[in-house]
Structure formats: C-alpha cells, structure tokens
Amino acid sequence: MKTTDESLGVRLQKFLASAGLGSRRACEKLITTGRVRVNGRTAQLGMRVRPASDRVTLNGRPLSAQRLVYAALYKPVGYTCSNRDRHAKRLAMELLPRDWPRAFSIGRLDRDSEGLLLITNDGRLAQRLAHPRHKIPKTYEVAICGSLTAAEMERLQKGLVIGGERMVADKVFAVRHAGEGTTFQMVLSQGKKRQIRVMLAELGHEVVRLKRLSIGPISLGDLKPGKWRLLSNEELAKLSRVG
C-alpha cells in the first residue's frame, strides 16, 4: 500500500506557521538557527511532523497548531502596527480579543494613518498577500491642504522619481475640493514606505488625513475606528484567488 503524505505528517515550516510564528521564511530561520526541536532533537529543514503525536518546541516551549483567524480591523490614528513596540503608546493588536491566538497584520499603516488592516495567523496567506510581485491594489482616501490640480494628478499617475526611486499611483479619482483643502482617492499597488505622504510632499502638499479603504477584494465597509469583524467565507475565497 502506497504511503500518503498525510501519514507522514505535515512539513515542519507549515506546522510552525499554523502555530502563529509568522511566514514560511521566518519559520525556516527559526529552524536553521537551532531554536526548534522535535521530540527532543534539533529540527532540520524539510522535516515532517505529526501534530497529534510529535512534541515540537521553540526555545524549550511546547507548540501546538492554533485555530486560524482572519479578520478586518479599523486601525485608528495613534495606533502602531506591531505586536510589540516598547516605544508605542498604543498597539493596533491590542484592539483584538485577548483570547485570540497570536496573529499579525497584513498591510501596515503608519501611526498617523487609519483604516483597514487584515489580521491573521495564517503565515502562508500573509506571505503571499504581502509579496510585492502580486501587486495587490490598495485604495486610500486622502485629504490634503490646497488644491490637487489636473497636472498633479497626471504626475502622480505617470510616476515620480524621489530619492532615486520611482513611485507611481495606479489611479487618482473622486477629487473633491472643499474650502482650503482637497479630498480624493488613490489606488496603489507598490507599497513603498509612506508612499502617499512622500509623493504628495514632492508636489508640495501636506497630507492631513490618510485612510485605507480596501486591500484587494476586502473593503473596510461600515467598520468604525477600533472595531473588527471576521472575514466571511466569500471574502476568504476571494483572497485565496489573489496572486
């Protein structure tokens, strides 16, 4: 009788990711640095484990597969996107239930920005969604001081070279002028650090509000600041087709 993959267990990296330890690359590093043991022996890349019977430890601490969670969170202004940061006053992850398994955010926002974060402990999904080659579009609502001209919109969409790096917006639309400011929406698929603020500063505009409305097929919807919701089966199916 042919031996099946199931009878051989699961790959160790996949098990570590299911225990909430991050992406495949991060889990591989834990293995290669000798921090993971299986049944008392130092683990090696390529090993398979049977979660029901094998004892897997990290730095001597037993590990077990966790239930996978997938959620949308509205990060308010003033919160830092990190699981741990001794310099941060408030962490976005603290807005989630305390009894949740250890999870992390997909798509960071700086402390002064707000809007959608995707939260999961599914390391493989997080790695795929975060990889730049997939160019997952993200939509933002932006408010600036002054007027955004048609010429500036064209420059944003054609791309700017800033500090030797080309930054480009996929689309700029829904422009509304009000008083001394302008509100509009911008779609990005690059994901450079503080990209929107940097691009608009290059044009002489200060961003006074920055809110992420969507990541790929997942929208913020009617979530309020500081609130979260679990993703639906339909949304998870759409995410599985991304990239």
The catalytic residue positions are: 110
Q: How many helices (H) and strands (E) does the chain have?
A: 6, 17
Phi-psi region of 31 (alpha: psi -120 to 50; beta: other; left: phi over 0): alpha
Dist CA 124 CA 128 (whole Å) = 6
DSSP helix/strand/coil, 47: coil
3-state secondary structure 132-194: HHHCCCEEEEEEEECCCCHHHHHHHHHCEEECCEEECCCEEEEEEEECCEEEEEEEECCCCCC
Decide the pairing of beta strands 207-215 and 114-120: parallel
Q: Which residues contact 71 (CB under 8 A, 6 or more apart)?
A: 96, 103, 118, 119, 120, 228, 229, 230, 231
